[in-house]
Amino acid sequence: MEIDKHWLKNAIKLPTANFDHRPVAVDISLIVIHCISLPPGQFGNDYIDQLFCNQLHPEQHPYFQEIYQLKVSAHVLIKRSGEITQYVAFNHRAWHAGVSEYNGRQGCNDFSIGIELEGTETTEYTKQQYQQLTELVKVLITHYPDLTAQNIVGHSQIAAGRKTDPGDSFNWEKLLSTLDGNKS
């Protein structure tokens, strides 16, 4: 896995308009892990791509009537198969964290990279997702000097009381143990 001009070389590239510039372009010091499925609990379709690219149609599912107008994105999505789609260049601000705070800093979108895992808080993530996530995090830590294995959090940790993802089904030990040996 390689990064070229802030894009993963081997990922599917699906650029979205849902991003803007970071206040400090070089301030990338946090990784936020999320989960998403659309409709909730359903996998293996293109609805997440449609949501992040403002193409989700409300008539496709009753749940979409509540969310189709949201302007949200993540930097990348790792599907259950391990396939990676990138929506926003890593040097830009994706709209994934919302109202958030980490170590006294408000607005985590300003300084974080958002990674979505296709899944739910209660469904185990796949072996392929952990493999790809591990490789992605290693590449990000190597490429962006302010990122460390200690600055990886779930959405629930930066938006406590508001968000619960990636949930109890996410195995933090599995991820962090594979990152041993990276800079800390």
Residues labelled catalytic = 116
CA dihedral 84, 142, 121, 56 (to 10 degrees): -40
Please answer whether residues 76 and 135 qualify as being in contact, where contact means their C-beta atoms are separated by less than 8 angstroms.
no
Q: Measuring CA to CA, which residue among 114, 118, 137 is closest to residue 126?
A: 118
CA dihedral 91, 148, 105, 99 (to 10 degrees): 70
β 76-78/112-118 pair status: parallel
